Amino acid sequence: MARLSIALALLATAHAFTGPLAPRAPHKNALVAPQQKGARNWLTKLRAAVADPAPVTAETKQDRLAEYVAAKGGTRVIRRVLIANNGMAATKSIMSMRRWAYLELGDERALEFIVMATPEDLNANAEFVRLADEYVEVPGGSNTNNYANVKLIVDTASRLGVDAVWPGWGHASENPKLPRALKEKGIAFMGPPAPVMSVLGDKIAANILAQTAKVPSIPWSGSFGNPGDDGPLQANLQEDGTIPRETFEAGCVHSAEEALAAAERVQYPVMLKASEGGGGKGIRMCKNAEELSAAFPQVENEQPGSPIFVMQLMTGARHLEVQVVGDEHGNAVALNGRDCSTQRRFQKIFEEAPPTKPSGGIARPDVFADMELKAKQLVQNIGYVGAGTVEYLYNAANDDYFFLELNPRLQVEHPCTEGVTGVNLPATQLQVAMGIPLPNMPEVRRLYGIDEGDTSTVLDLDDPNTKYRPIQKHVLAARITAENPDESFKPTSGKVERVSFQSTPAVWGYFSVGANGGVHEFADSQFGHLFATGEDREAARKALVLALKELKVRGEIRNPVEYLVQLLETDDFKSNNIDTSWLDGILAAKSINTHVDDSVVVASAALFRAHEACKAARSEFESALERGQFSTAALDALDTFDLDIVVSDVKYTVTVKRTGDASFDLVTNGGPALSASVREQPDGTLLASYGGISHQLTGQEEPLGLRIIVDGATVFVPAAFDPSEIRSDVTGKIVRWLKEDGESVEKGETFAEVEAMKMIMPLKAADAGTVSPKMAAGSVIEAGDLLAGLELDDPSKARSITPFQGDSLGLEEASAVKQDALLTYRSIFDQLSLAMDGYDALGEDAVDAVGRLVEAISDPDVFRLQVREVAGAIGQKMPAELDAALAKVASTIDVAGLESELAAYENEPAVQSLRDLAAQWAGGAAGVAADAVADLLDRFLAVEEKFVGRADEDAATRELIKASSKKDAADVLLAHGKLKARSALARALVAAVPRVQALSGRATDEERARLERDLDRVAALEAAGPGYATVSLAAGMARLRQNVPPFESRLSSLKNDISKASDLSTFASNPQLGSYTRGVDLLTELFDDPQVGQKAAEVYVRRMYSAHDILDISITKKDDHLEASWWYKFRNDDAAKAPLRFGKLVLFDDAASAVAGLSATVEGFGDELRSGLETHASWVADASDETPVNTIHLLLKSNEATTDDKALVATLEQALAGVQNAVEAARLRSVNFVATDAPYYPRYFTFVNPTCIEFGAQPGPYREDPLRRGMRPTFYHLLELGAVERNFLTMPLPTVNRDLRVYVGDDRAGRAKNPKFAAQSVFVRRLTHSRDFFEGGCARLLDKALDALDMALLDARVKPTASGRVYVNVIPPVEFEDAKELDSEFQKTLGGYLAARATRLLAAPVDEIEGKFAFKTA
C-alpha cells in the first residue's frame, strides 16, 4: 500500500500560499507507522467493498447494445435507466446518452429513460419529462420528499425494473446510502461505490484523508483536535473503508458556539460549509462572529442533516478543477479540466476549459499536467469508479495549488470538458456502469489519437508517455439562472412562456424548460447552460457575448442574461484578471448595472401597461359578445386613462390617450403629448416607437410591481410603496423569525429568514422601527405576501415617493421627425382612418384635420414623390432611357408629363405601376382627394349601414356577431360606439367636398360617381335614427350642391343678369336671388368687379335690408375699394316715429388690412353719421335719442380659409377693443365682418355689446355673438331671435336652406330649477321673398319647415319630449284692405294646411305656427 501513500503525498507541493491566510504546516508527527498501516488497510477494505461485476450472458448478445458491451469488454447490459434527478441534470443526461446511442449504435431508442417528476415539475411543463420514455410521479415539495429521498428512489427503481440509476448532481448524488441500497437490490449505480463516496464524497472525510497524506490543506475545523497532539485529524479507516465516527465528528461543528470556537482558531474570514452542500447551497462566507452566528442556522436549514465544518476563506485564489473518470478495472483518466473562478455566493456563473495557457487560461500547462496526474492517481488508488472532479485552489502569482475537495459525481459544467475533449461524459458514466474498460471506449481512444477503426492498439492509461492530443480550442460557458442580478442574484420562480435561443457553429446550449414551462420554488435556479467555443479564450468570449445578446427568456422569472453580458465585457474578465471573490466584489460595489434612462422607463412602462390593459379589455369584450353581452363601456374607459409609474422613487402620472389599435399619446401633467406606437410580435415582444426611436419591450406584472425589459435591460417598476409594510419578493417559506412581535429592529438588521429555491436568505429592515410578524414560521409564502408590519421610529427618514413636477418626459423633441409632402399626406390620412375606426386619433377639430388633408393633397410634391417611389420599386427592371428621363424632370413632373414619358413604353410590363399611378392622378389633385374622401366615407358606411333597417341595435348586433368573426364584430361595435365623433368627422368630410372640387384638375366620371354614391348612402342614413341626423343632413346638402353648376359658371351667370338689370330694387327682391344658382352670398364675389361691382353692392344691400325702408343709398369708390352707405328705417306703420339708421359696407383686402384700417373706418363712419343726420334732419324722429341703432359691414376679400374661426374672432375682438370709444360714438349696434371663402359661402361674424349676448352682462368691448355666426347680419332681427333668447337658452342646429334656421332651446325658468327636466322646444325660423303664400306657397314653405323640424328632432341634442315651433316671415308686402282681412285669410289658408297635414303635425309634434307679414292697402 505504499503506492497509495505516495499518491496522496504527491498532492503536496513545495510552495504554499504566503501571507496571513497561508495554510498551516502539517504536524511533525502527522504520519507514523500505524497510520501508514491503516492507510494500506483502508485501500484493501475499499476494494473489497466494490461489487463484483455480473457477467454478460448469451441472452444479452441479441441486439446492438449487447453486442457493443460484449465487444468492448463490458460486464453488464443496461437498458432501462432511472433518472433520479430533475431540471438541467435530467435534461442533459437523457440528451447525451441518447446522442451516444445513436452515434455508436445507430438507435437512439436503444436505451429507455424513466424519470421521477414532482407535481411542481409536471405543472412547470419540465423539459426532462418530455424527453423521457416514461415518468413516475413522486411527492412534491422539498427534495427530501423526492430526489434526495433514498428510500423513494430505490423503491421506484426496484418497482419499475430498471437496470441502473443515474443520480446526476445535487439531491442524493453524494449520499452513500443510495449506492449501498441499490447494490442490495442488484441495480447498478452510475457513480462511485458507497465506501469510496463515504470517504472522498464527503468534504469533511476528504479533507481528513488529504491532510493524513500531508497534502497542504486550508486551515479548517479539522486542522486540530487529533487525540494526543491536538494536531490535524488523521484517517484511521475502519473495516468498511470509512473514517471512524469519532474522528469524523471531531472535524464537524455541531452548534453556532462550536463554529465560533473553531473560527477563532482558523482565523476570519471563514467559510461555514455543509459537507453535503454544493452549487452554492449550504455555504456562507463570514467576516466576523456576528455573521457566523447568523449563518449557522441558515446552513442547517439549506442542507438539513448535513455535517457542517468551518474552513478559512482563501482570498486571491483561482478555482481550478480536474475532470476524472475511473472504472471498475482499476483504470483512471484525467480529461483535462476547468476554470470555475467566476462565482457569486460560491456558486459558479462562468466556467471555461482548458484552464491553461496559451489558449487564454490562467495555469501553466506543466503545472496543470501535474494537477491532472495527482488527481488521476488519487482516484485510481482509492478504487474510484465513475465520473468525479478534483477541485483545487490555485495561486496564479506563484503557480501553487492546494487540494479543495473531490466531488464524487458529475458537475454541472461538465460540457466544457466535453467541448475540448470530445468525450461524452454521461455516456462515459453509462459505459463505466456497464463494466466497459476506459481504454476500450471509442471517445477516450480518439482523445488519445487512436483512429476509430484501430482496434488492435492497446491504450495504456498508466504509461507516463501516454498523452492525450493537444487541446486546440477554448470553451466558455454561462449558466442561465432564474435569479435577480439586481438583488445579488436572489432566486426567483414562476412561469416561463418562451425561451428563444438559436445554436450556431460557435455556440450551443440546452435548457430544462420549454415553452409554457416554469421554474418552481423547489427547483434549482439554473434552467439553462450556454457554451461558446473559439480558437482561443477571446474568440469564445465574443461568441458567448453575441449569443447572450440574442437569448430571449420571457416569463415571470428574472434572469441575469444582460448582466452576464456586461460581466463578459469588463476589462478584468477580458484580461483574465479575476479570482473567486471578483464577482462578489462587483455585486457589493454595484459597479455593474443595466441603467436605462428614467424617462425611457416611464414611457416604456406606460406603453406596456396601456397595451396590456387594452389587449385584456379587448379579449374580454370579444368573449362577452359570445355570451350575448354587447356593452362597450369597459373599452370606452380605456380611451383616456391615467397610469401611475414609479421610477427612482418618483411617481409619474401619465395620461394615456388611445389613438389607434396600437398607438397612444402619453401626457404628463398636462404637457405636450408624446406620440407612441406599439406592435406585438409573434413571440409576444413589443416593438415600441416613440421619440423617433424604436425599443423592444417585454414585461411581467408581479405582485410588487412591473418587471420590464427595455432593449435587453431589465428594470423593476414598483407598485405603490408603503414603508410600514414588509412584503415578500420571493416564493418559498418563512424559516424563522429573529425578532418577536413588538421587538425593535435597526435599519439593515436581519429580522427573519426565508427559504426560496433551496436557499436561505435573510430579510433585512429597510428602516428602523418595531416589527410585527403577520405570518408564522413555516408558512408558505408567495411574492407580494404581507410578511410583517413595521412601525417606523422616524417616518420622516423613511424612503418616500415624490410626485413628478415636470410636464414632459423630454422625449418629444426627438419625435419631431421631418416629413416630406407624401409622408405628411399619408400621416394625415392614416389619422383620419383611425378616427373613422373609432379612435381619438386627431387631437384637433375634425374640420381642421380634413382641411389639412385637402391642403396636403394640393401639394404637387405628393405626386412627384409618388412617381419617385414607384420608379424606385421597379428597380433594375426600369428601362434605362425612361429612368434617365424621369430623373431629369423629377422636381417638376406632373400627370401630363408622366403620361408623355410613358407613351413610348405602352407594351412594357415593367412600368405598369407607373401607368397605374398616372391613371390614379388622371383627375388631378381633385380626383385623388375625391377618392380619399370616398375611402373615408366608405369606412364610416361599412360600419353604420350594418345598423340600418334592423328592429333595434341589439338585433343588428346579434346579426353582426352571427355573420362575422369575433374580431370583425368587435371592430364594428367599437367604431359604432363612437358614432358621435365619427359622424362629426363624416360631416367634416362632406363639408369639404366643394373644397375638394376646387383643387387642381377635375375628378374623373368614375371618381365623381363614387363620391356621389357615398353621399347618397350617407344621406339615406336619416331614417336609421337620431344619431345620423346631422351627417345625413350635411350629405343631403352636399348632394344638392353637386347638382349646382360650377362656381365660375354661377358667378358668370349672376354677373350677366346684374349687368342687364335696370331696376336694381326689383332685381334685389326677386325670390330667385335666394336659390342655389343665384345665391345672395354670391354677390360678395362681384364687389370688386370693375363692370358690375357697384350694382352688385347695391343689390346686396337692398336684398339684405329688404324688410326695411331704404331712404337713401350711395355706392362709391375710395382708394380703389368699393364703399356703400345707406340710410334706412324699420318698416313701421308710423314711419315718422321710427329711428333713423345708418349703414355702411367697406371692403378690405384681408383681415390684417381690416384691423389696420379699423380705427380710421369707424371714426370715418362717425363723421359721416353726424354729417348725414344734419343733412337728413327731416327723417330724424327724435334728435335726442342716442340709442345704438347703426351698423357697419366690413368685407374681407382675401380667402381667410387658412385662418380658423376661433383665431379670426380673437384677432377681430382684440382690434374692436382698441376702438371701443369710436364704436360707441358711432352708435353702432353691431359690427359685422364678412370673410369671403370662394367657392364656399362667405363666413359671417357679428360683434355686439356683451349686453346683447348674455342677460345681465355688463357693457364692454364688443364680442362675437355665437348664435349669429354664419347668418347674414339682418337675420337675427328678421327671425325675431331676441324674443326666443329671452325665454330660452338656445343652440343652433344645421340646416340646408340659407334662409331657414333651426334652434333648440331649453326653457330658462325651468332650467334654473332643474336643468334635466327643463322643457325644450325646437324653433324653425324661415324668411321668404316669395309672394305666393296665399296662392299655394304656404304648403310649400311649411312643408320645408316641417322637413327641417323632422331632421332636427333626430339630433342627439334634442330631447324626445321636445315640441316644435314654426315661424315664417314673409318679406314682400301683401295687399289687403286691412289687418282683419289679412288675419282672416291667414286663418283660412293655415286651417286648410292644418287639416291636410294633421297627422304629420301631431307626430312632430308642432305646438305653434306663427306668420309675420307686412301688408299694404290695395
Q: Which is nearest to 1271 in space by CA: 1249, 1303, 1239?
A: 1303
Pull the grid cell for residue 1049.
Answer: 359658371
Question: Three-state DSSP class for 135?
Answer: strand
Q: CB burial class (10 A; 0-12, 13-18, 19+) of residue 1187?
A: exposed
* CA–CA gap between residue 832 and residue 811 (Å, rounded): 25
Q: Is there a contact between 730 and 491 (Cβ–Cβ < 8 Å)?
A: yes
| Residue 782: Cβ within 10 Å count | 12
Q: For 536, phi and psi rounded to 5 degrees?
A: -150, 180
* CA–CA gap between residue 845 and residue 1259 (Å, rounded): 32
* CA–CA gap between residue 1227 and residue 1250 (Å, rounded): 15
* H-run or E-run covering 444: helix 442-447
List, in sequence order, every beta strand (DSSP E) within 1003-1120. 1108-1118
* CA–CA gap between residue 163 and residue 81 (Å, rounded): 6
* CA–CA gap between residue 210 and residue 224 (Å, rounded): 14
For residue 250, the one-letter residue type is A
Q: Rounded to whole angstroms, what are the CA distances from 886 to 736, 827, 870, 905, 917? A: 82, 26, 11, 13, 14
Beta bridge partners of 700: 707
Q: Rounded to whole angstroms, what are the CA distances from 1323 to 1065, 1291, 1319? A: 31, 10, 13
| Residue 1020: Cβ within 10 Å count | 16
* Separation of CA 1085 from chain center: 55
Question: Three-state DSSP class for 410?
Answer: coil
CA quadruple 767, 771, 772, 775: dihedral, nearest 10: 80
- HSE of 611, CA atoms in CB hemisphere, 13 A: 25
Greatest Cα-to-Cα distance within the chain, rounded to the nearest angstrom: 157
* CA–CA gap between residue 334 and residue 313 (Å, rounded): 28
Grid look-up 380705427 returns 1159
* Catalytic positions: 409
* CA–CA gap between residue 707 and residue 490 (Å, rounded): 15
* H-run or E-run covering 277: strand 270-278
* CA–CA gap between residue 1059 and residue 1047 (Å, rounded): 18
* CA–CA gap between residue 942 and residue 940 (Å, rounded): 6
Helix locations, 627-709, DSSP H: 633-636
* CA–CA gap between residue 391 and residue 405 (Å, rounded): 5
Which contacts of 1197-1200 are long-range, i.e. CB under 8 A and separated by 24 or more positions?
Answer: 1197/1087, 1197/1088, 1197/1147, 1197/1148, 1197/1149, 1197/1150, 1197/1236, 1198/1149, 1198/1150, 1198/1151, 1198/1236, 1199/1236, 1199/1237, 1199/1238, 1200/1150, 1200/1151, 1200/1235, 1200/1236, 1200/1237, 1200/1243
* H-run or E-run covering 690: strand 686-690
Beta bridge partners of 494: 519
